[in-house]
Structure formats: structure tokens, C-alpha cells
A and B are shown apart, each in its own frame.
Chain A
Amino acid sequence: MKYLKPMNLKAQALKSASGDGAKREVVAMQTVAGCASTMDPGWEVDAFGGIAALCQPMEADLYGCSDPCWWPAQVPDVMNSYPDWDMDKANAGADWRQLNNVFPKR
């Protein structure tokens, strides 16, 4: 985090953990195949190798991920690639069962 300054508690925790070696730096280099290591937080696993810092329930902010193309490898981006993915499913908390995988099943 050469050019960034932590502004809140979570960011401070991340910086401290990185400094004292508690953050699993290897998580970034070694991840279960297909897991996003974009730590803001991660989609599958948080920066500490757990789940406590993930957005949960993720449905509360799911369209906050798909609209601005956040984790596009995991969540279809509505900005450019799949504009109709969430059409007629305005409430992710209630409509998540209707959301589809975007790559056709072979």
C-alpha cells in the first residue's frame, strides 16, 4: 500500500496486519482455483483468509457489485457485458434465485 493511506478502522486493520505479518500474503499468490484475490474485500475470501470482512449478506450489495463491474469474473457486470442480467429482478434479497449463470452450460 505504497500510495494509500488507511482512512477507516478496517483499512487500518489491514495495514497493521500486513505490517506485523498476520495478513496471509500468500493468499494472494496461492488461491483456490477461481477465487478472486481482489481484496476490497474479496468475493470468496477476505484479506485475512476468512469471511468475517466480506459483505454479508452479499445480496444486500450484489447490484452494487454488478452495476460498476466489480469482480466481473465472479459477478456478471451489468455496466458493459451483461446489461440484462438483473432485469426484472430489482430486489436481490428476494430475487436471487432467478439470477442465472451467464456462460451457457455445455
Chain B
Amino acid sequence: MSGKMGLFVSGVMLFVLSAVLTPVSANDSTKDFKGKALVNDYCAACHEQTDKGLTRISDVRKTPEGWDMTIFRMEHLHGLAVDSDDRFAIIKYLSAENGLSPKESAPFRYVLEQRAHFVDVAPNDDLDALCGRCHTNARYGLQRRTAEDWLKHMHFHVGQYPSLEYQARARDRFWWQEVTSKTYKELAELYPFQTADWDQWKAAAYKSPVGLWRVTGHRPGQGGYEGIMTVSRHGDFFKAKYDLNDMGQKGESITGNSKSVVYTGYEWRGSGILNGTETREVYALSEDGNHMTGRWHDAIHYDIGGEFQAVRLDGAEAQVLAKSSDYIRQGETKKISLHGTGLTGKASADKGLGLSIIHQNSNSITLQITAARNIAPGSYRVTVGQAETAIVVYDKIDMVKIMPEWTIARLGGGNIPPVSAQFEATAYMKGKDGDIKIGIMPALWQIQPFNADAEQMKDVDFAGHIDQFGRFLPAAAGPNPDRKYSTNNAGNLIIIARIKDGDHQVSGKAQLIVTVQRWNLPPIR
């Protein structure tokens, strides 16, 4: 289906979809895109038409962000002028025709989701030295090229960034000989243009996200949240309405909405407002169209955001998706809420845990749980009808681990926002078969110099401070005349979390490098 008839039919489909919330996994039949004509209009002047398509463009597959960056490069370096509507249509078309399948993008979602603290691992030392010394490993892992085009990619780099061969980790090897004889072939094998998986995904019918979704998530440093997302279609876009609640003590409501595009049949990209804060959403729709996972973040401060998972409500099985707390101490009585779908059944627990129901509906159940004094520490089952989860009973905390164990924060100022670092402290106890995770707990936070250099430079006094929720807020950028050599407010710090356990404290450590800002902030770095 193509051309005007296709547009007309899909227009009718859009109207129908937007008028009624569709049932489970309705197929989205709007695969025809006006972007095809626009790609020819904008790109064919330079990219020659061949029997395979336009040169270069038809040899590459990328994410929506990857195509956006390519268009930016064409604008910036080659004088392309494209308005925002056409840009959107071109990205949507290229992401559908030459995109990545859900399986292909899955290992690299951390970079799409703008996770500032993810530790990135290269497939091997050669690729780390070649690509990973400037980029995330996702930068090339999220591209698929023919072998010929990977080779052209090498030539592009040495032409555009000629001094790269003088930089460290390039100088101690015959890098150009290696990349033009070996590495491009390796990349073509690791990340090939043609795959059965992509062919299958490209041919499959897209699933519509329209409907009601059960949402659960976690805001690092603030705790869990849960609620409902209602998605409706409005032309080429989807609108989401959020009715969420914080699971913490305050139980504040989190409301808002967003407008999104679903690229390649599963790449949800939204812009919205949550409790007055402008947000961006990067979610992936599952292949069956019944789950969505990802992360939303503050539009300016990408380091602040929340984990997100959603399950299509219609037809969902009985399941627990999140809990207000994962643990209870021996002898303690505690209110714990379970959030999920189909939670209408009878509540019960393994022997040793006493239950009484405070509140119950199909999406949530709040229980008063009592752990007997003589109950053995370990994991205990709690069931609500067919739904099952586990609560950890502990006697004492043996160890505290901080996540992330090692990360960076960036100084900010002028036109570049700071990048904070959010830490969370998780308590563990020793079990017969290894450490048992109890759960994330409130902690007392402190910073110390990492080594003698940091002590001498008084990094603790200058680099920033950590708040009561484990968020490190870096100091201002720029030379600091109050520091030796007027150096920046950079620092090398130990982060310490102390969790109270009865009348004593158990502590854990992490390392934080507070470093300088960067001025090149594309969506895939």
C-alpha cells in the first residue's frame, strides 16, 4: 500500500484508532510515510540513485537519534536546509526503512535513555582503542553498515578529524593499516547491514500503543512510583496522560502528559510535563506490543529522571510489578503495598509472616505485614491470587553497597548544565549461599578525599556537596582563583553511605570523579 490511496486508508484508520481505545495489541497499519518523497527531494541532489536506493543512505541502518544526528551533520557541514516538519517525516521514514530491530538496539539502550552513570564495556580491546576512546561503545553498536560503508566510515573519520591519529592509543599501533584491512570487516560482522532479524521486524505489522497502561517505576534517590498511563492517538503523534503516585512516605501524586512519536514500530520518544517539570521519554515497546520499558528524564538535566515500565492493562495477567518496600525486619510490623495487575485474589504468605489487608483493588493491595520474632532470615513468598512476589526478612545488616560503585559528575555553568550523580545505598545480609540483597534504604551520606592528591588539593571543600538523598551536586565550572593553580572545582572523592541498623551503623563506599563539562552533547555520545 503506497501513495495517496495508502495515505487515505491510513487516515481513516487513524480516525478510528483515536476515537476508541483499541483492544490488546491492535496493529498499527500506518507504515506508509511521506518521508520517502522528502528523502528523494532533499538527499538525491548529492546521493546518487542506484538500483539499491540512494548511495550511502541505503547502506546504513540507524536509530531515530542516529538519523537525526546524520541530518544535523548534513545541515552543519553540507548546507542542507530542512524545516522541522520535513525533518520529522524524514527521520520517521528512514527509521522505518533503515532502522534497528528491538533485538539490535537492546544492548545499547543505556545511551538512548541518557543514563549518565552507565559503565560502558567494549566488545574487545581493538574496538575500544579505535572507537571507544572518544565515543560510547553504543555509538557504533547502534549502527549497521555494509562492509564497504564501514570502510567509508573510517575514511570519513580521518578526513573530518585528521589529528585523531596523533592521539594516545592510536600512536602505538599501525592503526590506519589495521582499520582499512581488518577492523572494518570485523565491524561488518559484528554489526552487519543485512540481518534476518531486521528483515523480519521490517515486514511485521506494528503494534499500536493506544490504550490503558499500568505503570510502575523508580526515581533514584526518591523511591518508587506507580499509576496509570492513558495513550491516545492524535494524527502522527500519540498523547499520554499520567496519573501516578509516589510510593514513598509522602505519597504525592505525580500527574502530567506527553506527546510522542513511535519510530520503527517500537521506539517511543516523548516530550512532556510531569508535576510542572519538562521531561523527555525514551521507551521501547515490546515486540508483542504489551509492555513498554525505558527511562524519562528532565529535559535540561538528563541525569535526573526515572525508570519506567508499563504493562498493557487489557488482558494483563495477575502479577506484582512493584512494592513500596522489599523487606521487613524480624519482629517488625510494617505496611507494604504491592502494585500490579489483577490483584483481586486472596492474599497469603509463607509461614512466619502475618498478613492483614488494609486496602485492595485490582491494581494495588496494601498489607499490614508482621514478621515473627523467631522467623529465619531469608526470602518469603507473598501471593495475591495467582500473583506472587517475595519479601525479604532480615535480622541484621551485614554489608552496604552503593550504586553506582564508580561514576562521574560534571561541573556546570554558562551554557552547559551541571551533571549531578545520584547514589543509592542497598543493604545486604550474609546467607548460606552468598549475600542476600535486603533492599535500598535511607542512609547518611558523606564525602571524603579519594587519595593523597585529593586531600592535598582539598577536593572535598571545592568539588560540591552530597544531599540527604544521596545526590551529589557539583560546584560551579570555570577556573577557581581560590584553588591552587586556579584549577577547576574538579575532585576525586569517596562517597560514604551509612545505614542505621539498631544502635550501630553499617557503611559502604563508592568513588566519584567530579570532572569538567563537555560542549558536544548529541543524543548518542
Q: Which residues of A contact B (CB under 8 A)?
A: 1-4, 28-40, 43-45, 49-52, 54, 56-60, 68-77, 79-81, 85, 93, 96-104, 106
For residues 377 through 413 of chain B, which have their beta carbon under 8 Å from a beta carbon of chain A?
A: 406-408, 410, 413
Within 8 A of A (CB), among B489-525: 490-492, 513-516, 518-523, 525
Q: Are B133 and A38 in contact (CB under 8 A)?
A: yes
Q: Which residues of B contact A98 (CB under 8 A)?
A: 414-415
Chain B residues with CB below 8 A from A52, complex form? 453-454, 457, 492
> What are 19 A-B contacts with C-beta separation under 8 Å?
A3-B173, A29-B121, A30-B119, A34-B116, A34-B135, A34-B136, A37-B133, A38-B169, A39-B133, A45-B513, A51-B492, A56-B488, A70-B167, A72-B161, A77-B161, A79-B163, A98-B414, A99-B415, A100-B415
Q: Please name the residue on chain A nearest to B162 by beta carbon.
A: A69
The complex places the Cα of A40 from the Cα of B166 at a distance, in Å, of 10
Q: Which residues of B contact A (CB under 8 A)?
A: 68-69, 72, 76-77, 110-111, 115-122, 125, 128-129, 132-136, 138, 160-164, 167-169, 171-173, 280, 406-408, 410, 413-416, 450-451, 453-454, 457, 477-480, 485-488, 490-492, 513-516, 518-523, 525
Residues of B within 8 A of A32 (CB): 116-120, 406-408
Q: Which residue of A lies closest to B404 (CB)?
A: A32
Q: In the bound complex, do residue B77 and residue A37 qualify as a contact, i.e. CB atoms below 8 Å apart?
A: no
Query: Separation in Å of the B477 CB from the closest CB of chain A?
Result: 7
Known: A103-B520, A103-B522. A36 touches B513 (CB 8 A): no
Judge whether B120 and A33 touch: CB under 8 Å: yes
A74 and B162 contacting across the interface, CB-CB below 8 Å: no
Which of chain A's residues have a CB closer than 8 A to the CB of B160? 80-81
Which B residues lie within 8 Å of A40 (CB)?
A: 167-168
- Asked whether A38 and B168 contact (CB < 8 A) given A32-B118, A98-B415, the answer is yes
Whether the Cβ atoms of B125 and A97 lie closer than 8 Å is no
Complex CA distance for A100 and B520, rounded to whole angstroms? 9
In the complex the two chains form, is B523's CB within 8 Å of A106's CB? Answer: yes
B313 vs chain A, min Cβ distance (A): 31
Instruction: Check B520 against A39 for contact (C-beta < 8 Å).
Output: no
Instruction: Select from chain B the residue with minimum beta-carbon distance to A31.
Output: B120
Q: A32-B408, A75-B518, A81-B77 are in contact. Are A57 and B479 (CB under 8 A)?
A: yes
Residues A31 and B132 in contact, CB atoms below 8 Å apart: yes
In Å, the complex CA distance between A61 and B122 comes to 30
- Pick from B110, B128, B520: contact of A73, CB under 8 Å: B520
The 5 A-B pairs at the shortest CB distance, nearest first, are namely: A97-B414, A40-B168, A57-B479, A34-B525, A56-B487
Contact B172 A71 (CB under 8 A): no
Hey, which chain B residues are within 8 Å of A93, CB to CB? 478-479
Q: How far is the CB of B112 from chain A (nearest CB, A)?
A: 11
What is the minimal beta-carbon distance from B338 to any residue of chain A, in angstroms? 33
Cβ–Cβ < 8 Å partners of B172 in chain A: 1-4
Contact of A28 with B169 at beta-carbon distance under 8 Å, contacts A98-B414, A103-B72 already known: yes
Query: Is the beta-carbon distance between A76 and B162 smaller than 8 angstroms?
Result: no
Known: A56-B488, A99-B519. 14 other contacts (CB 8 A): A3-B171, A28-B133, A31-B120, A38-B134, A38-B168, A43-B518, A44-B410, A44-B516, A50-B454, A50-B513, A72-B161, A74-B520, A103-B520, A104-B72
- Given A80-B161, A97-B414, also A59-B134 (CB < 8 A): no
- Among candidates B125, B161, B280, B516, residue contacting A58 with C-beta atoms closer than 8 Å: B516
Q: Which residues of B contact A45 (CB under 8 A)?
A: 408, 513, 515
Residues in A whose Cβ lies below 8 Å from that of B171: 3-4
**Are A69 and B161 within 8 A (Cβ)?**
yes
Question: Please, which residues of chain B bring their CB within 8 A of the CB of A68?
Answer: 163
Taking a contact as CB atoms under 8 Å apart, the answer to whether B110 and A33 are in contact is yes
Question: How far apart are the CA atoms of A49 and B516 in the complex, in Å?
Answer: 15
- Nearest-neighbour CB distance to chain B for A49, whole angstroms, equals 8
C-alpha gap A74/B525 in the complex (Å): 9
A100–B513 Cα distance when bound, in Å, is 23
Give the complex CA separation of A45 and B480 in angstroms. Answer: 19
B491 to chain A, nearest CB (A): 7
List residues of chain A with CB within 8 A of the CB of B514.
Answer: 51
Query: B462 to nearest A CB, angstroms?
Result: 12
Bound together, the chains give a CA A97 to CA B476 distance in angstroms of 11
Q: Please tell me if the beta carbons of A31 and B119 are within 8 angstroms of each other in the complex.
A: yes
Neighbour of B520 across the interface among A31, A59, A72, CB < 8 A: A72
CA distance A68 to B165 in the complex (A): 12
Contacts of A74 in B (CB 8 A): 134, 518-520
Q: Is the CB of B525 within 8 A of A73?
A: yes
